[in-house]
Amino acid sequence: MTTFEFAILIAIGSLVAGLLGALTGLGGGVVIVPLLTLAFGVDIRYAIGASLVSVIATSSGAAAAYLKEGYSNMRVGMFLEVATTIGAVTGAYLAVSTPTKAIAIIFGVVLLYSAYSANKPQKDLLSDDPPDRWATLLKLDGTYPTARGERSYHVRHVPAGFGLMYLAGVLSGLLGIGSGAVKVLAMDQAMRIPFKVSTTTSNFMIGVTAAASAGIYLHRGYIDPGIAMPVMLGVLAGALIGARILPGAKVRTLRLVFSIVIAALAVEMIFKGVKGTF
């Protein structure tokens, strides 16, 4: 197989990953790393480096659109990015010294959670509790558009959300994913931010988080342009296609298929990690 043919196959696989990620809201990173390591035999650290580059590209494109539509909460995103960026740098440094088989096992566990998260019922968890002291101090409360006009919401449990964001950052730096599932969990379940605001703000944040750890991977020589470029182009194209077909797609069916594929990849990653064949 020539280098050109190898790059084309990676780009096609990455396009499918970006498409699935866009349709399920989990991003393509959870597919890219197992795709590169299991299907193409790429070293897991180089696969993580390429995945981080693709996360930066796809996040940058989608974040601008969501911000223009009025969904993303910039104050929440920038505040929580402090925790995720520190976590991402921590995870990137850990990845350098962590055995590849351990990374594979951890990644498999995260994939299993992502498979579960893809089919978890999505709903807004709004409450009539008094405003959170930290949210009021930092002016994190906001509004988002609905069919009936602007709707206001209050941010809750800010310290708990900040701690979970650090964990999300560590996973991002260690595994090369946007860790969007953990970010959405923190904002939607812990901080009681409406789901649409949580997902769009998370999309804005994952690019910043990935950029923080990508610099360390680049410095260590784990970002190969020959792998990262077709991955980035493929995921970006897949994400754009997914955004166009999402309104008319049967998302429930897509999420089920995605979960089955991700769960199968998770079992394979954990199995190979336990055997030490990475």
Domains in the chain: boundaries: 3-275
pTM for this predicted structure: 0.74
**pLDDT value, residue 93:** 86
Measure CA 184 to chain center.
Answer: 9
**pLDDT value, residue 126:** 52
Measure CA 118 to chain center.
Answer: 12
**How far is CA 19 from each of CA 239, 243, 260, rounded to the nearest angstrom?**
5, 8, 16
Amino acid, res. 177: I
**pLDDT value, residue 183:** 80
Mean pLDDT (whole number) for 40-51 = 90
Amino acid, res. 262: I
**How far is CA 141 from each of CA 87, 138, 154, rounded to the nearest angstrom?**
24, 9, 5
142 beta partners: 153
74-84 burial, b at 16+ Cβ within 10 Å, e below that, comes to: ebbbebbbebb
Helix (H, G, I), strand (E, B) or coil at 35: helix
Pairwise CA distance, residues 81 & 123, whole Å: 24
Higher pLDDT, 277 or 141: 141
**pLDDT value, residue 50:** 92
**pLDDT value, residue 102:** 86
Higher pLDDT, 73 or 243: 73
Give the tokens for residue 45: 């650290």
Give the tokens for residue 42: 């790429």
Share of the chain above pLDDT 70, in %: 83
Which residue carries 């897991």 as its tokens?
Answer: 44
**pLDDT value, residue 83:** 93
- Distance separating the N- and C-terminal Cα atoms of the chain: 22
Q: Would you place residue 132 in the very low, low, confident or very high pLDDT band (cuts 50, 70, 90)? A: confident
Q: Would you place residue 113 in the very low, low, confident or very high pLDDT band (cuts 50, 70, 90)? A: confident
Report whether pLDDT(85) > 80.
yes
Tell which residue, 176, 19, 152, has the closest CA to residue 94: 176
213 HSE (CA, 13 A, CB side): 40
**pLDDT value, residue 227:** 94
**Contact status, residue 14 vs residue 231, Cβ threshold 8 Å:** yes
Higher pLDDT, 60 or 127: 60
Most trustworthy range by pLDDT among 55-64, 84-93, 178-187, 194-203: 84-93
Average pLDDT, the chain: 81
Higher pLDDT, 154 or 120: 154
Which letter does DSSP use for residue 246 in this model? Answer: G
pLDDT digits (tens, 9 = 90+) for 23-34: 665 666 777 888
**pLDDT value, residue 277:** 63
Report whether pLDDT(211) > 60.
yes
Q: At what angle do helices 251-275 and 100-118 cross, to 10 degrees?
A: 160
Report whether pLDDT(226) > 60.
yes
Which residue carries 């089955």 as its tokens?
Answer: 260
Report whether pLDDT(8) > 90.
yes
Kindly compute the dihedral angle of the four CA atoms of residues 143, 145, 146, 152, in this order, to the nearest 10 degrees: 10
Alpha helices in 36-129 (DSSP H): 44-69, 74-97, 100-118
Most trustworthy range by pLDDT among 168-177, 233-242, 253-262, 264-273: 233-242
Pairwise CA distance, residues 59 & 61, whole Å: 5
Q: Would you place residue 247 in the very low, low, confident or very high pLDDT band (cuts 50, 70, 90)? A: low
